[in-house]
């Protein structure tokens, strides 16, 4: 084999290895074991979190476990020399975009330090957990981080007050943050906010959301951060996906807002796997010291000036670059014109242009096809147990198609033409990305800027092109790592075309253009590697002890109909699983996801009940219904009203709120926690005709008769997002 062929093969495998190993760089800094005074002390913060979580039980809003966590949180705050107060608010609040009203009693823990006057800086986390797990990361990382930050900042010369809000009820509709905003005097005196969150249990603390326009927030972040993980591409994408944190509640305020989260290993999130042992201490230290640095900047250094929108990106936490969005878009436009002219002068519009396009489209199509095929053979999250194998398999597809495009389409095309054509395609892709997420421009500027001089002078072209290719690969590899973590449900096939885009310019440099003979046999080793990886994707275990499969068992009783239900992302259950016959996929009344259901014995679980009395409504012409709710042992109650009831308002007695969403949809009133039982509510209905309502009780446990099902749960699987539960539905007339 000629030397050029060896170089090309070597480049292909070096890039495959780099794709597989890139996530090793996407980590927070090592833990500082002997921090100096004024530096975030991770072991002290972890010790507090361990004491606060106690026996590590789920502690959802208004539960006995939540009382315990709050008491211990208050003790830790006092021990750190702080003076916490508790704001106790029973409330109902309406969702903005759905016809849902949430009711619960939230007890926020609030600490203020610093001088009495001035605008408050707020730090926010939530101490309630999801119903399925102990929430060591979600949001123990925020709670532990904030106590340590408060303990450090209280001894420093703060120029304004800093308030730490440990809220309750984040998991049930951001209720604690809503209660704070509605009724806490500090909310009206605040002008900036740092929120600390988790959607996983490891990885760096990513600053993924800011107030808009973002210039002041990004300048504060840049000034206070020492290991920045933030980019305007993901910030713009986050806005496009339906997701919420406490920041959602505060976002409309004209405040300077920064939102941090860790997102590594989502398989533990909202599950019993979110334990202290799984929380990476480096993640806690990273989030804590980043928030401390920025809080210090905002409370001592002052809020940076600035309006307008910046685009920005970090490089593996080492540093961050930023520039005004308009400058970035203008640069991108100028680069597009430059490379259009360069491609025209190099006569690069034929096969040279076809080669990168074929690599992108081909790897996208083959990646998509492989994804479809494996999904058909292995339904539900086939990547879950060993994601790196799956991701690398997609990158192998990207390299195979890039090599094929160069060998079959780009052969006998001069390197200079290939370069010009690639950068033109790259900038056009950048333009498309900016159409959806303008912040993405930051990733499409610097590599072509570095490559451009080669087309002006022709000297040093090789070195500049290699440099530009390396810069592109390194910056894109970080984006790809973040995409791998963000896309928990796929579609992962997009890694293939993105990988091709990242690798193509380096492959152009390694491609033996001087040997015009067909060298298609070069495709055999990389094609073989791709096949081997896809075979591995089919056969590696679906789940591991660390990365478990979702498997939730439920009992549903609706009148005289009783069912077992299993939520496992539709992985087929073996016939007669757990000694129960007749499993089939069906919809259930408490979730949008289909489940396996089978007949279950009729067990004596009582549904919630109400005592109601209606009086004519003198204002609206309908009626006002006063009711007392009896949970009958349920941990949460859902009241569903038909559209005909025409719900105009509902809430606690004397505190009705107006539902949002579309009046043509049925309305839902939800209540969480102990105070549901005996809760006095008021409903204003515009219809005078009687209606039938549905009352569903959710119990966060299974009846004893479920023991054989629990015992049959596959190894390395557990409930996620909601616990094993009993749902019981009753009806009443209003
Ligand atoms: Zn959370």
Using pLDDT thresholds of 50, 70 and 90, give the confidence band for residue 303.
confident
pLDDT given at position 238:
84
User: Which residues lie below 8 Å from residue 592, measured CB to CB, with a gap of 6+?
Assistant: none
Burial of 3: CB neighbours in 10 Å, binned 0-12, 13-18, 19+? exposed
Each residue's pLDDT tens digit, 191-239:
999 999 999 999 999 999 999 999 999 999 999 999 999 999 999 988 8
Axis-axis angle for helices 281-296, 140-153 (nearest 10): 40
Q: How far is the CA of 16 from the centre of ligand 1 (A)?
A: 35
Q: How far is the CA of 236 from the centre of ligand 1 (A)?
A: 21
Q: How far is the CA of 291 from the centre of ligand 1 (A)?
A: 16
Q: How far is the CA of 127 from the centre of ligand 1 (A)?
A: 9
Q: How far is the CA of 125 from the centre of ligand 1 (A)?
A: 8
Evaluate if residue 241 carries a pLDDT over 80. Answer: no
pLDDT given at position 140:
98
Each residue's pLDDT tens digit, 411-465:
888 999 999 999 999 999 999 999 999 999 999 999 999 999 999 887 889 999 9
Q: How far is the CA of 268 from the centre of ligand 1 (A)?
A: 13
Burial of 30: CB neighbours in 10 Å, binned 0-12, 13-18, 19+? exposed
Question: What is the average pLDDT across 511-523?
Answer: 72
Each residue's pLDDT tens digit, 153-201:
999 999 999 999 999 999 998 999 999 999 999 999 999 999 999 999 9
Contacts for 343-350 with beta carbons within 8 Å, 24 or more apart? 343/417, 343/420, 343/421, 343/424, 345/420, 345/455, 346/414, 346/416, 346/417, 346/420, 346/421, 346/455, 347/417, 348/416, 348/417, 348/418, 348/420, 348/421, 348/424, 349/421, 350/413
Helix (H, G, I), strand (E, B) or coil at 82: coil
Q: How far is the CA of 46 from the centre of ligand 1 (A)?
A: 18
pTM (2 d.p.): 0.95
pLDDT given at position 420:
95
Q: How far is the CA of 245 from the centre of ligand 1 (A)?
A: 7
Using pLDDT thresholds of 50, 70 and 90, give the confidence band for residue 4.
confident
pLDDT given at position 517:
55
* Chain mean pLDDT for the chain: 94
Q: How far is the CA of 346 from the centre of ligand 1 (A)?
A: 54
For the beta carbon of residue 79, count every other beta carbon within 10 angstroms: 12
Evaluate if residue 520 carries a pLDDT over 90. Answer: no
Using pLDDT thresholds of 50, 70 and 90, give the confidence band for residue 518.
low
* 51-60, 102-111, 511-520, 606-615: least confidently modelled range: 511-520
Evaluate if residue 484 carries a pLDDT over 90. Answer: yes
pLDDT given at position 513:
74
Using pLDDT thresholds of 50, 70 and 90, give the confidence band for residue 514.
low
- Write the DSSP symbol of residue 297: I
Neighbours of ion ligand 1 (CB under 5 A): 138-139, 197
pLDDT given at position 615:
86
Evaluate if residue 677 carries a pLDDT over 90. Answer: yes
Each residue's pLDDT tens digit, 76-125:
999 999 999 999 999 999 988 889 999 999 999 999 999 999 999 999 99
DSSP 442-493: GGGTHHHHHHTHHHHH-TTHHHHHHHHHHHHHHHHHHHHHHHHHH-BTB-GG
pLDDT given at position 242:
74
Each residue's pLDDT tens digit, 720-734:
999 999 999 999 998
pLDDT given at position 515:
62
User: Which residues lie below 8 Å from residue 12, measured CB to CB, with a gap of 6+?
Assistant: 399, 403, 507, 510, 522, 525, 526
Q: How far is the CA of 126 from the centre of ligand 1 (A)?
A: 7
Using pLDDT thresholds of 50, 70 and 90, give the confidence band for residue 516.
low
Q: How far is the CA of 171 from the centre of ligand 1 (A)?
A: 7
């Amino acid at each position: 084999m000629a030397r050029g062929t060896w170089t090309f093969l070597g480049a292909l495998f070096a890039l495959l290895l780099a794709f597989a190993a890139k996530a090793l760089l996407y980590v927070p800094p090592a833990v500082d074991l002997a921090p100096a005074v004024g530096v975030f002390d991770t072991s002290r913060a972890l010790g507090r979190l361990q004491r606060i979580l106690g026996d590590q039980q789920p502690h959802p809003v208004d539960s006995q476990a939540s009382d315990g966590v709050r008491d211990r949180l208050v003790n830790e705050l006092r021990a750190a020399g702080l003076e916490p107060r508790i704001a106790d608010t029973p409330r109902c609040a309406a969702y903005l975009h759905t016809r849902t009203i949430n009711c619960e009693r939230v007890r926020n823990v609030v600490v203020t330090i610093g001088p009495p006057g001035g605008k408050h800086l707020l730090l926010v986390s939530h101490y309630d957990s999801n119903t399925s797990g102990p929430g060591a990361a979600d949001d123990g990382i925020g709670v532990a981080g904030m106590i340590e930050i408060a303990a450090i900042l209280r001894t420093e010369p703060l120029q304004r007050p800093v308030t730490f809000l440990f809220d309750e009820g984040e998991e049930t509709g951001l209720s604690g943050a809503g209660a704070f905003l509605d009724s806490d005097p500090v909310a009206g005196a605040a002008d900036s906010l740092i929120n600390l969150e988790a959607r996983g249990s490891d990885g760096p603390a990513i600053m993924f959301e800011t107030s808009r326009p973002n210039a002041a927030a990004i300048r504060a972040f840049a000034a206070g951060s020492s290991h920045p993980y933030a980019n305007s591409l993901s910030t713009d994408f986050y806005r496009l996906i339906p997701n919420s944190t406490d920041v959602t509640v505060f976002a409309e305020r004209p405040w300077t807002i920064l939102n941090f989260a860790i997102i590594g290993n989502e398989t533990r999130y909202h599950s019993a796997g979110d334990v202290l042992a799984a929380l990476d201490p480096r993640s806690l230290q990273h989030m804590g010291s980043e928030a401390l640095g920025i809080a210090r900047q905002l409370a001592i250094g002052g809020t940076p000036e600035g309006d307008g929108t910046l685009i920005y990106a970090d490089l593996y936490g080492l540093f961050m670059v930023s520039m005004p969005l308009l400058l970035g878009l203008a640069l991108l436009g100028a680069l597009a014109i430059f490379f259009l002219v360069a491609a025209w002068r190099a006569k690069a519009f034929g096969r040279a242009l076809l080669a990168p396009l074929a690599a992108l489209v081909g790897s996208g199509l083959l990646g998509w096809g492989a994804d479809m095929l494996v999904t058909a053979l292995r339904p539900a999250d086939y990547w879950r147990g060993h994601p790196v194998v799956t991701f690398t398999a997609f990158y192998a597809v990207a390299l195979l198609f890039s090599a094929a495009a160069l060998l079959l389409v780009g052969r006998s095309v001069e390197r200079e033409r290939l370069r010009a054509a690639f950068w033109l395609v790259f900038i056009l892709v950048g333009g498309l990305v900016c159409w959806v997420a303008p912040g993405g421009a930051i990733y499409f500027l610097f590599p072509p800027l570095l490559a451009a001089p080669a087309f002006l002078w022709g000297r040093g072209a090789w070195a500049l092109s290699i440099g530009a290719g390396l810069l592109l690969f390194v910056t894109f590899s970080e984006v790809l790592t973040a995409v791998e973590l963000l896309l928990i449900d796929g579609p992962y096939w997009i890694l293939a075309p993105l990988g091709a885009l990242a690798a193509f310019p380096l492959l152009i440099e390694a491609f033996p253009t001087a040997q015009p003979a067909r060298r298609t046999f070069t495709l055999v080793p990389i094609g073989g590697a791709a096949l081997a990886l896809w075979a591995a994707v089919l056969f590696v275990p679906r789940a591991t002890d660390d990365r478990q499969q979702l498997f939730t068992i439920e009992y549903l009783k609706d009148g005289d109909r009783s069912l077992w239900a299993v939520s496992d992302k539709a992985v087929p259950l073996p016939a007669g699983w757990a000694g129960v016959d007749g499993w089939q996929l069906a919809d259930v009344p408490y979730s949008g996801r289909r489940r396996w259901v089978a007949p279950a014995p009729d067990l004596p679980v009582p549904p919630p009940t109400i005592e109601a009395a209606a009086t004519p409504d003198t204002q609206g012409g309908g009626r006002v219904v006063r009711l007392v709710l009896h949970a009958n042992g349920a941990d949460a109650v859902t009241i569903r009203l038909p559209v005909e009831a025409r719900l105009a308002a509902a809430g606690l007695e004397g505190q009705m709120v107006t539902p949002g969403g579309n009046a043509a949809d049925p309305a839902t009133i939800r209540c969480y926690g102990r105070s549901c039982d005996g809760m006095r509510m008021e409903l204003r209905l515009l219809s005078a005709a009687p209606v039938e309502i549905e009352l569903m009780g959710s119990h966060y446990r299974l009846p004893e008769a479920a023991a054989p099902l629990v015992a049959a749960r596959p190894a390395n699987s557990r409930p996620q997002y909601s616990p094993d539960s009993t749902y019981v539905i009753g009806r009443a007339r209003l």
